[in-house]
């Protein structure tokens, strides 16, 4: 019996204490909230069913039937068991039907697509995320990477696509996952209800570095979001120190520019993440490293050791060049 208690109670305690910035148990948007309710409905219902089945089984094992019983009594017991089994099957049908209905209503509660929604296009690459903010006015359209900012309380419509293989976009705190499939477009809609920073991680196996394909979602007040957007729309910050100027020259002159874009410079490659405001993002390399000058230098110096197999080659740079380009990139807030 103690094993039984352990199995039932311990997980509940663990679950109750669960929260985190990548957890389905800590909902921070309407969709996740809806699913969270559904989760507990299912868990409690299923838990009860499981416990009842185990109790009846325990009863069957522990009871001591009379050694020899008359034929007619045995027949009665058989018939009674038949009725109980029939009743249990009927109960199963009822429970299943109830849970199906609950699922149906949960889906209806989630799927509302809002006409006022903020539209963001997300594209999965091996192994990073391209984020495009759409706007009717072309001046307000911009591209960034690996970080998604959302205004609190405003419905958002994420248009999901894939550039190479299948990826899956999943921010457990905000909504259920939705696959990004080459040749098909998917949509994920929800409304964030609490400010904070949440983590998304690719949920469909997408090759060698599937484990290192994260994205940060920053839910902030509409004012903060407006300020952030204004920064992002602008071209890259101009270099100030001599080292930063040298850094920009390295970026434009070396292989970097073949893959990366820094708006306002000669770098206009489109194979890798847009770096126009990379210094303002919390992480680099799709969530692997913090955006510090040292981490930046380490990453550029040897991306294949930090994230083996990723598509960024090791570009031979002198120590000075490495220092300069790292300084410049971190400046790009």
Partner 1 sequence: MTPAERDLRDAALEATEGAGALERRLERTWRTREGFWGALSTVDHKIIGRRYIVTAFAFLALGGVLAMLMRLQLARPESRFLSADLYNQIFTIHGANMMFLFAVPVAEAMAVYLVPLLVGTRNIAFPRLGAFSYWVYLFGGIMLWVAFILQTGPDVGWFAYVPLSGPQYASGKRADVWAQMITFTEISALAVAVEIVVTVLKQRAPGMSLDRIPIVVWAMLVMAFMIILAMPAVVTGSSVLIMDRLVGTHFFNPAEGGDVLLWQHLFWFFGHPEVYIIFLPSVGMLSTMLPSFVRRPIFGYLALVMSIMAIGVLAFGLWVHHMFTTGLPRLGESFFTASSMAIAVPAGTQIFCWIATIWLGRPVFRVPFLFILAFFFTFVLGGMTGVMVASVPLDTQLHDTYFVVAHFHYVLVGGAVFPLLGAIYYWFPKITGRMMSERIGRWVVGLLFLGFNFTFFPMHILGLQGMPRRIYAYPPELGWGGMNLFVSLCSIALAAGFLLFFVDAVRSARKGPPAGDNPWDASTLEWATTSPPPPYNFARIPVVTSAAPLWDERAALPVASGLSVNRRELLITTMGTATPEVRETSPQNSIWPFWAALATSVMLVWSIFSPWALVWASIPVAITLIGWFWPRGTPEDDA
Which one among 9, 73, 76, 96 touches partner 1, defined by CB under 8 A?
A: 96
Nearer to partner 1, 306 or 315 (CB): 306
Question: Which tokens sit at 333?
Answer: 């807030």
Least distance in angstroms from the C-beta of 85 to partner 1: 4
Q: Pick from 124, 272, 279, 287 the residue near partner 1 by CB under 8 A.
A: 287
157, 212, 260, 263: which one binds partner 1 (CB under 8 A): 212
Angle at 58 between CA 52 and CA 63, to 5 degrees: 125
Taking CB under 8 A as the binding criterion, the range among 10-18, 226-234, 253-261, 321-329 that sits at the site for partner 1 is: 10-18
CB 278 within 8 A of CB 295: no
Q: Which stretch binds partner 1 (CB under 8 A): 17-25, 130-138, 230-238, 325-333?
A: 17-25
Structural contact between residues 291 and 283, judged by C-beta atoms closer than 8 angstroms: yes
CA distance linking residue 186 with residue 224, whole number of Å = 28
Binding positions for partner 1, 100-119, rule CB under 8 A: 100, 102-104, 106-107, 110-111
* Gap between the terminal Cα atoms of the chain: 59
The reply to whether 291 sits near partner 1 by the rule CB under 8 A is no
Question: 100 vs 137, which CB is nearer to partner 1?
Answer: 100
- β-bridge pairing 186-190 and 156-162: antiparallel
H helix or E strand, kind and range, residue 95: helix 71-110
Q: Are strands 156-162 and 128-133 parallel, antiparallel or unpaired?
A: unpaired
Q: Please report which helix (H) or strand (E) contains residue 201, including its range.
A: strand 196-201
Whether the Cβ atoms of residue 154 and residue 117 lie closer than 8 Å to each other? yes
Within 10 angstroms of residue 105's Cβ, the number of other Cβ atoms is 11
- C-alpha–C-alpha distance, residues 82 and 92, integer Å: 15
Q: Which is nearer to partner 1, 127 or 225 (CB)?
A: 127
Report the alpha-carbon distance of residue 131 to residue 154 in Å, rounded: 18
197 binds partner 1 (CB under 8 A): no
Peptide bond between residue 219 and the one before it cis (omega within 30 degrees of 0): no
CA angle 234, 240, 241 (to 5 degrees): 155
> Which span (30-38, 217-225, 264-272, 322-330) binds partner 1, by CB under 8 A?
30-38
Residue 184 phi, psi dihedral angles, 5° rounding: -135, 150
- Residue 18 sits at φ, ψ, to 5 deg, of -80, 130
Compare residues 129 and 170 and give the one whose CB is closer to partner 1: 170
CB 3 to partner 1: min, Å: 8
Structure-token match 């149906």, residue found: 104
Q: Which stretch binds partner 1 (CB under 8 A): 40-48, 114-122, 135-143, 242-250?
A: 40-48
Least distance in angstroms from the C-beta of 272 to partner 1 = 17
94 sits near partner 1 (criterion: CB under 8 A): no
In the bound complex, what is the minimum distance in angstroms from residue 255's beta carbon to partner 1? 22
Nearer to partner 1, 43 or 221 (CB): 43
- Give the binding range for partner 1 (CB under 8 A) out of 204-212, 227-235, 268-276, 314-322: 204-212
Site for partner 1 in 254-283 (CB under 8 A): none
**Shortest Å, Cβ 55 to partner 1:** 11
Sole binder of partner 1 in the list 82, 222, 226, 316 (CB under 8 A):
82
Q: By CB under 8 A, is residue 294 in contact with partner 1? A: no
Residue 236 neighbours by CB distance under 10 Å: 24
Residues 154-193 close enough to bind partner 1 by CB under 8 A: 164-166, 168, 170, 172, 175-179, 181-184, 186-187
């Amino acid at each position: 019996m103690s094993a039984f208690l352990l199995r039932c109670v311990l997980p509940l305690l663990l679950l109750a204490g669960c929260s985190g910035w990548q957890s389905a148990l800590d909902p921070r948007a309407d969709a996740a909230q809806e699913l969270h309710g559904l989760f507990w409905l299912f868990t409690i219902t299923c838990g009860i069913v499981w416990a009842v089945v185990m109790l009846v089984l325990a009863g069957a094992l522990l009871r001591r039937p009379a050694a020899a019983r008359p034929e007619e009594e045995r027949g009665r017991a058989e018939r009674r068991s038949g009725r109980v089994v029939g009743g249990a099957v009927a109960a199963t049908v009822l429970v299943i039907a109830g849970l199906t209905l609950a699922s149906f209503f949960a889906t209806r509660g989630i799927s509302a697509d809002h006409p006022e929604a903020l539209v963001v296009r997300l594209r999965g690459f091996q192994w990073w995320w391209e984020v495009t903010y759409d706007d009717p006015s072309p001046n307000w359209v911009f591209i960034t990477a690996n970080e998604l900012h959302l205004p609190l309380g405003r419905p958002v419509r994420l248009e999901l696509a894939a550039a190479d293989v299948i990826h899956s976009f999943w921010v457990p705190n905000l909504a259920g996952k939705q696959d990004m499939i080459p040749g098909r477009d998917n949509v994920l809609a929800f409304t964030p209800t609490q400010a904070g920073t949440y983590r998304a991680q690719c949920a469909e196996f997408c090759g060698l570095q599937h484990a290192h394909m994260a994205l940060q979602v920053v839910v902030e007040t509409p004012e903060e979001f407006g300020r952030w957007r204004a920064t992002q729309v602008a071209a890259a910050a101009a270099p100030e120190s001599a080292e930063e100027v040298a850094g920009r020259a390295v970026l434009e002159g070396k292989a970097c520019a073949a893959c990366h874009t820094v708006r306002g410079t000669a770098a206009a490659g489109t194979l890798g993440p847009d770096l126009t405001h990379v210094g303002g993002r919390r992480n680099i390399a799709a969530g692997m490293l913090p955006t510090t000058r040292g981490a930046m230098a380490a990453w550029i110096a040897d991306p294949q050791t930090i994230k083996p197999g990723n598509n960024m080659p090791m570009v031979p740079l002198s120590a000075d060049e490495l220092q300069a380009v790292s300084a410049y990139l971190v400046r790009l807030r």
